[in-house]
Chain A
Amino acid sequence: MSALRSLLVLVALAGPMTASAATHVVTMEGMKFEPATLRVKTGDQVVWRNKDLVPHTATAAGKFDSGQVGAGKSWSWKAAARGQHDYVCTYHPGMKGSVVVE
């Protein structure tokens, strides 16, 4: 609930300032990516925020790789190439996500 609220606040804040580029947040929490599938536009910023107590990664082979994102830390990536980028946490392969750049 609080994660959703902070996401809404963030989107609301980012909204008026950036007409073309938006910032999206994916949380790493409870050994899951949330939202598991995210749709963005080219030029948007995606922030992965690790709310777990263990480190994670967001890794799409050949597309992007956060490297280790420690507990409580974040990593951001600018969506450039269009397409569906499936990614995993290389530490916990059960954690799967997807960014669709439109």
Chain B
Amino acid sequence: MRKFTALGVLLAAFAAGPSYAQQGPSDPQIAHIVVTANQVDIDAGKLAEKSASSKEVRDFGKQMVTDHTSVNKSATELVTKLKVKPEANETSASLKKGGDENVAKLKKLKGKEFDKAYVDNEVSYHQAVLDAVDKTLIPSAKNEELKALLVKVRPAFVQHLEHAKMLQGQLAK
């Protein structure tokens, strides 16, 4: 009981509404976060396919478009089957905002500068998405199939992160 109270105080200190922070996102919100997160990386990947100066980075961009499009197709099919209506929320809005800002920034860059900025963002983006999947989305998902989809997609995101880190190392040379 004492522990619970201490946690409550801590949450109240950091979040505007303690109940929101404790509950985490609902399944309709998780669905919206998943689709938005994938779309953000598809948008950046499409730009990299066109604008990156090195073949490795263009190929990586193409891979992100292919993989995240495929994940979104599966997510959309599941959500349709479950009759879950994706619901916009703070997390998906901030993901979208961050993605739009990234694309706007990348559009002003050329050559190696573009490659570096794109790859740096891909590293931090995939790290952030994995953190969200592990700490918020999987623990919060109520529907077992939705949870299973998140578990299933995780290895692809890990591989993308490793690939992006490898490119980051090459570009630093």
Residues of chain A touching chain B, judged by Cβ–Cβ distance below 8 Å, are 30-32, 52-55, 70-71, 91-92, 94
Contacts and interface: CB of A to CB of B under 8 A. Distances in A.
Q: Main SS of the interface on chain B?
A: helix
Contact of A55 (B67, B149, B152, B159): B67
B63 A91 contact: yes
Contact of A54 (B71, B149, B163): B71
B74 interface: yes
Contact of B70 (A30, A32, A70, A92): A70
Interface in B139-173: 149, 152-153, 155-156, 158-159, 162-163
Interface of B: 63, 66-67, 70-71, 73-74, 149, 152-153, 155-156, 158-159, 162-163
Contacts of B63: 91-92
Given A54-B66, A54-B71, A94-B163, 11 more contacts: A30-B155, A32-B155, A52-B152, A52-B155, A52-B156, A53-B74, A53-B152, A53-B156, A54-B70, A55-B66, A91-B66
Given A55-B66, A91-B63, A71 B159 contact: no
B146 to A, nearest CB: 13
Given A52-B152, A54-B67, A55-B66, A31 B158 contact: yes
Contacts of B149: 53
B45 to A, nearest CB: 13
A52 B149 CA distance: 10
A91 B70 CA distance: 13
Contacts of A70: 70
Contacts of B67: 54-55, 91
A71 B73 contact: yes
B156 A31 contact: yes
A92 B152 CA distance: 16
Given A54-B71, A94-B162, A31 B66 contact: no
Contacts of A30: 155
B155 A71 contact: no
Given A52-B152, A53-B152, A53-B153, A94 B71 contact: no
Contacts of A91: 63, 66-67
A52 B151 CA distance: 11
